[in-house]
Amino acid sequence: MNLSMRWLKDYVDIGNVSMRDFSEAMSMSGSKVEGWETEFEGVKNVVVGKILSVEPHPDSDHLVICQLDVAQGEPVQIVTGASNVHAGDLVPVALHKSKLPNGVEITKGKLRGVMSNGMMCSLGELNLTKGDFPYAIENGIFLIEEGCKPGQDIASAIGCNDTCVEFEITPNRPDCLSVIGLAREVAVTFDKPINLHTPVVKGCGGNINDYLSVEVQNKELCQRYVARVVKNVKIGPSPRWMRERLRASGVRPIDNIVDITNYVMLEYGQPMHAFDIEYVKGNKIIVRNALSGETLTTLDGVERNLTEDMLVIADAEKASAVAGVMGGEYSGINEGTHTVVFESACFKGSSVRVTAKKLGMRTESSSRFEKGLDPQNCLPAIMRACELVEMLGAGEVVDGVIDIDNSGYKPTVLHLDAEWTNRFLGTDIPEERMKKILSDLHFGVNGNEIIVPSFRGDVEHKADVAEEIARFYGYNNIPTTTAKGSPQGKLSEYQKFERTVNQTMLAQGLYEIMTYSFVSPKQYDKIRLPKDDPRRKSVVILNPLGEDTSIMRTNAIPSMMDILSKNYNNRNGAVSLYEIGNEYIPVDGELLPDEVPNLVLGMYGEDKDFFTLKGVVENLLDVLGIEDYDVTACSDNPTFHPGRCAILSKGGEEFGIIGEVHPLVCQNYDINTRVYTGKLNMNTLFALMNDEKTYVPMPKFPASTRDLALLCDDSLPVLTMEKAIKNAAGKILEKVELFDVYKGSQIEAGKKSVAFNITMRAADRTLTDEEVGSAMNKILKAMEELGAQIRS
């Protein structure tokens, strides 16, 4: 909402307050000021000049030399190419070293050898249009027809010195989208009286009912419909004071009737509609729902398809306006308009909102209606419009008002409980002070009964009343205390687990990333998910911004691949990344999906291989105390390299997958190097976590170590061998460490050599050679069962 300070002054005089103090005070009482702008603020050295003479230029037939009186002693000589200047004209003169509203600086210079000490300005050069000064011409010097003197500063001479304040008005206060509404707030903020005015309409006789009848069919959506008729309309420009106020408010002046509707909308906050009675067939207005298949071409020339839930203003034959949104193309005011109907109505906000949204046309009018306007404002607003018609001589107001009021308005009555209010706010405000604030805000105060004014539909509870009191008592005058009670905040067990996971990733040099939870369905193709995979069934966004963000991911790996791809293509040499991100898994029969947190890992770089990634995971599982898990080779996940992918599980429950990304998937992400990725289900990890650690004393007796080199089938997993060694050696086994795997020239094809370092120890004695030997024999036997022979 843009407020003209000049207009505000019609209602409240706050005296000499700087704009900074004004906006600070208004912001602190709840009407946030976003900024302000004074017209012609940057303009310098532009004054009114009176042309004394116009002489031809000796060396040009299209230039003339003017002498101007700018009240600086000697006349000023200016050369111009404009042809509409004559001696005696008053014109805007940009003197030497001046600045125009558009920032252009003017200095003196010679034109065809003759000195020109500045420039005479057109409307355009002053950032103005014909709407602002209808008597001026667009192409030529602006000949000023205002009461002003040579030498006068241009801003004050033509009234371009208003200040416009931009307010951020919250949606609960549509009443403040008006000069009067803001004036009420200003008056209470600065504790000044407000000069409200009751419009007076003289009328010219006659009877509105001879011109028009109105039928409201949908009484729920049309809460009030007020109409008046103006005859003998004389379309013309509106007076300067009206044009100035409109311009400062950001509205372009057009003609007197249109300007009046805009003026009243800005002043009262009530959208007005004026239309030519010629176009009301049967002289009857019907407010009804649109018919099935009905269309209407709106003012902007677009044909709109209406639906039955939309409210329209119609005549006996067809719709002429979408109620509260926009008028029809052929109903507006034009040069030949003779009799005008003014409409001041109140339509139900939710209906206007839905209609405007459906039609994709949010207008000034609809954005006001959708916030819920005050039906009690319709009548004063139309009276004000008619008053202005008479004041401007724009027509004659026919006697009588058509007023169909379905609002059933009854004022809201609340009880002021001063003690509760103080307890709620933590204040000690005297009851009398509360009552003063409320009555200044036009609430009725009757003992402890509070009667809410009709324009404050937002006040319906004692908490709302408390806010009104707090706003003007001053939020910053409320004391600051700390909430009672003994605070005991903590992280939950899961949150602590999550912190551990984060710390372990960071300690291993991974960077944390954050990715969007919504992806393109094409991502499933990119990771080569089969067409019939159930994981393609995703939560779909009905109104996505684009295909790229249209479904909630059921797999967080594509998001990681995207980021790896961006880094790779930005030539970041080697990266290791992780994210704890949700996957959104639809659940049959449930409204909401399962949101499953996953730890997603991704890396590439010359120093990385499958085991780099696996090492990161092994460290994490170690930190979490998850032991004896299974690692199974997985060759059928199309996202991964068929020979370099592992599924992690414990007790038959899968908790993760890691692997080298399939080259075709890398290709889909434009990555031309090997990439390693994987994910672990955080919920399962949390369930498996065992953070109970018990101290084991340092060994007192020496260990016996043996190296064991074996020859076996290449396909025999090392993990299987390790487990068999552990089983065979029994309790005395301390650890088994793989230290070499060899395939090559000395080894038969399809075989490999595997070497382990085996450590055995007893807690209570030194092991004898016999004990160690017997254990080694058992191990060898177990190895033979697996088809592994000792290597000689």
Interacting positions 138-177 with other proteins (CB under 8 A):
170-173
The reply to whether 414 sits near other proteins by the rule CB under 8 A is no
- Six-digit token pair at 522? 């094409």
Residue 85 vs 603, nearer CB to other proteins = 603
The residues that bridge with 449 in the sheet, in sequence order, are: 415, 446
Q: Does 572 engage in binding with other proteins (CB under 8 A)?
A: yes
When the beta carbons of 545 and 698 are compared against other proteins, the nearer one is 545
Residue whose CB is less far from other proteins, 401 or 466: 466
Torsion sign across C-alpha atoms 149, 152, 158, 161: negative
- Contact call for residue 488 and other proteins (CB under 8 A): yes
Rounded to an integer, what distance in angstroms lies between the CA atom of residue 745 and that of residue 271?
Answer: 92
Residue 410, CA atoms < 13 Å, CB-side half-sphere = 3
Q: Is residue 486 close enough to count as binding other proteins by CB under 8 A?
A: yes
661: Cα within 13 Å, side-chain hemisphere: 33
Query: In the chain, what is the straight-line distance between the N-terminal and C-terminal CA atoms, in Å?
Result: 92
Contact residue for other proteins among 17, 87, 507, 687 (CB under 8 A) = 507
Q: Does 419 bind other proteins (CB under 8 A)?
A: no
Strands 118-120 and 295-297, how do they pair? unpaired
Interface with other proteins (CB under 8 A), residue from 62, 415, 461, 537:
461
CB of 669 to other proteins, least distance (A): 14
Q: Which of 102, 350, 446, 777 binds other proteins (CB under 8 A)?
A: 350
Q: How far is the CB of 286 from other proteins (least distance, A)?
A: 25
Closest CA to 76 of 40, 113, 47: 47
Residue 305, phi then psi, degrees to nearest 5: -90, 120
Nearest distance in Å: CB 677, other proteins: 14
Q: Are 450 and 498 in contact (CB under 8 A)?
A: no
CA atoms within a 13 Å half-sphere pointing along the CA-CB vector of 359: 31
Q: How far is the CB of 557 from other proteins (least distance, A)?
A: 15
Q: Which of 4, 1, 38 is nearest to 245 (CA)?
A: 4
The pairing of strands 64-69 and 76-80 is antiparallel
Show contacts with other proteins in window 253-312 (CB under 8 A).
Answer: none
Nearer to other proteins, 69 or 370 (CB): 370
Could you say which of 2, 29, 307, 774 contacts other proteins (CB under 8 A)? Answer: 29
How many C-beta neighbours within 10 Å does residue 723 have? 15
User: Pick from 116, 101, 103, 11: which is nearest to 57 by CA?
Assistant: 116
Nearest approach, Cβ of residue 379 and other proteins (Å): 24
Nearest to other proteins of 170, 667 (CB atom): 170
CB of 479 to other proteins, least distance (A): 5
- Gyration radius from the chain CA atoms: 42
Smallest separation, CB 535 to other proteins (Å): 17
- 516 counts as binding other proteins under rule CB under 8 A: yes
592 binds other proteins (CB under 8 A): yes
Does residue 25 bind other proteins (CB under 8 A)? no
Residue 367: how many other CB atoms lie within 10 Å: 18
Q: Which residue in the set 30, 159, 237, 327 belongs to the binding site for other proteins (CB under 8 A)?
A: 30
Q: How far is the CB of 34 from other proteins (least distance, A)?
A: 9
Judged by CB under 8 A, does residue 434 bind other proteins? no
Nearest Cα to Cα of residue 294 among 319, 311, 316: 319
Interaction mask 649-678, other proteins, x per CB under 8 A = ------------------------------
Residue 567 interacting with other proteins (CB under 8 A):
yes
Which member of 5, 14, 63, 354 binds other proteins (CB under 8 A)? 354
Among 133, 142, 347, 518, binds other proteins (CB under 8 A): 518
Going by C-alpha positions, the residue among 255, 274, 273, 263 that lies closest to residue 178 is 263
Residue type for position 447: G
∠ Cα 65 67 69 (to 5°)? 155
Using CB under 8 A, which of 135, 241, 330, 475 touches other proteins? 475
CA distances from 48 to 71, 141, 146, 156, 605 (A): 9, 12, 10, 10, 74
Given candidates 195, 439, 495, 768, which one binds other proteins under the rule CB under 8 A? 495
Q: Among 128, 134, 111, which Cα is nearest to 46's?
A: 128
481 is an interface residue for other proteins by CB under 8 A: yes
In the complex with other proteins, the residue whose CB is nearer, 87 or 507, is 507
In the bound state with other proteins, the residue whose beta carbon lies nearer, of 483 and 696, is 483
Residue position matching structure tokens 């070293």? 97
Kindly state the smallest distance separating residue 489's Cβ from other proteins, in Å.
4
- Say if residues 182 and 174 touch (Cβ distance below 8 Å): no
CA distance 523 to 510: 24
If one asks whether residue 45 binds other proteins (CB under 8 A), the answer comes out as no
Q: Least Å distance between CB 46 and other proteins?
A: 26
> Site for other proteins (CB under 8 A): which residue of 370, 374, 387, 390?
370
> Nearest distance from residue 517's CB to other proteins, in Å?
7
Q: Applying CB under 8 A, which part among 61-69, 155-163, 374-382, 577-585 lies near other proteins?
A: 577-585
φ/ψ of 720, rounded to 5, equals: -60, -40
Stretch that binds other proteins, among 71-79, 377-385, 561-569, 715-723 (CB under 8 A): 561-569
Cβ–Cβ under 8 Å, residues 84 and 31: no
Instruction: Decide whether 245 or 371 has the Cβ nearer to other proteins.
Output: 371
| Binds other proteins by CB under 8 A, chosen from 110, 410, 490, 531 | 490
Cα atoms in the Cβ-side hemisphere of radius 13 Å centred on 24: 6
Distances (CA, A) of 788 to 83, 176, 258, 745: 109, 87, 98, 19
C-alpha closest to that of 75 among 83, 65, 63 = 65
- Nearest C-alpha neighbor of 637 from the set 620, 658, 616, 609: 658
Give residues 595-634 in contact with other proteins (rule: CB under 8 A).
Answer: 595
Contacting other proteins within 519-548 (CB under 8 A): 539-545
What number of H helices and E strands is found in the chain? 20, 40
Q: Which of these segments, 23-31, 237-245, 630-638, 663-671, binds other proteins (CB under 8 A)? A: 23-31
Q: Which is nearer to other proteins, 490 or 531 (CB)?
A: 490
How big is the site for other proteins, counted in residues (CB under 8 A)? Answer: 86
Task: Assess 584 for contact with other proteins (CB under 8 A).
Answer: yes
Tell whether residue 513 is a contact of other proteins (CB under 8 A): yes
Please select the residue that binds other proteins; options are 393, 426, 444, 638, rule is CB under 8 A.
Answer: 426
Please state, in angstroms and rounded to a whole number, the distance separating the CA atoms of residues 615 and 605. 15
Cα–Cα distance for residue pair 640/375, rounded to 1 Å: 67
Q: Applying CB under 8 A, does 552 fall inside the site for other proteins?
A: yes
